[in-house]
Amino acid sequence: MRKLRRSLVLLAASVLVCGQSPAAVDPLNPSCPKAPDWSINKIMGLKVVKRGDAQVLLAEGPVDQTLPDRLKKALTDNPEISEIWLRSPGGNARAGNAAGRLIRSSPGLITRIPAGWTCFSACNFVFMGGQLRVVEPGGNFMVHMFTMTGDRDAIDQSVALGTETTVELIGEIEQESALLASEDNDFLIRMGVSRKLLTDIMYKQKAVASGSGGGDKSTRRCLTQDEVFQYNVANVQE
């Protein structure tokens, strides 16, 4: 059983390493920073470091399909890891879910978004795997409405081929989207996070930015400190 460590030394180390001056606001997504502090890693790097008296796994970079296996090895090889600190622009949704479930299978493991760091999209599900979860003031739990229509070449090609092909593609997108939404809903239930996070926040964001008309054009949303506790995204307040 990993020990819960929430010492002042660890908190001070987090502020020292991760703290930074307040970020400029994104004019299109005003709840979020203009330039989120992603990692330069091509895929999520997993590095074990000491922070105060605790062993911490720094998980930084995009989520790819190899993450669950690499994360499992890191946790197996380093059984004294007590926390995972996350910053990521997201990536493979199903790999994020699998990594989150893996983290939940490690009793007492804490996930943390340190001040100045941002955890977006698939990273949300990695983070929610922690039995104990901390979003520090100044840390960003950034969400969006997922979309299955990112491959513009495939869409353009189907349109060029005619109506029947386009309808077939739309059907495939709708089916895949429904499956992913169901998986996300099931995941939140299992992790003890309010399903209203999906209906109140995530699914109310635009999947694709609109270039016409007025009103809210945001495609990203960063939860406030009140909201991370309201939806039980975070369950430890330091």
Per the listing, tokens 């009793």 go with 107
pTM for this prediction? 0.77
In the prediction, which pLDDT does 18 show?
A: 42
Whether residue 173 contacts residue 110, with contact meaning beta carbons closer than 8 Å, is answered with: no
**H helix and E strand count, the chain:** 8, 8
Measured distance CA(73)–CA(204) in Å, rounded:
37
What residues of the chain score a pLDDT lower than 50?
1-21, 148-152, 154-155, 169
Per the listing, tokens 């109310």 go with 204
Per the listing, tokens 């004019």 go with 27
Measured distance CA(109)–CA(83) in Å, rounded:
6
In the prediction, which pLDDT does 212 show?
A: 53
Measured distance CA(7)–CA(54) in Å, rounded:
9
pLDDT tens sequence across 124-143 = 999 999 999 999 999 999 99
Sign of the CA dihedral running 37, 234, 82, 15: positive
Domains and CATH numbers, the chain: 8-148+201-230 (3.90.226)
Please list, in sequence order, all residues whose beta carbon lies within 8 angstroms of the beta carbon of residue 80, skipping any fewer than 6 positions away: 2, 55
* Burial degree of 122 (CB within 10 A; 0-12, 13-18, 19+): buried
φ, ψ for residue 22, nearest 5 deg: -55, 135
* Burial degree of 82 (CB within 10 A; 0-12, 13-18, 19+): buried
Long-range CB contacts (< 8 A, 24+ apart) of 155-162? none
3-state secondary structure of 120: strand
In the prediction, which pLDDT does 151 show?
A: 47
pLDDT tens sequence across 3-39 = 444 443 344 344 434 444 456 999 888 999 999 988 8
Tally of CB atoms within 10 A around 133: 23
φ, ψ for residue 215, nearest 5 deg: 80, -165
In the prediction, which pLDDT does 107 show?
A: 87
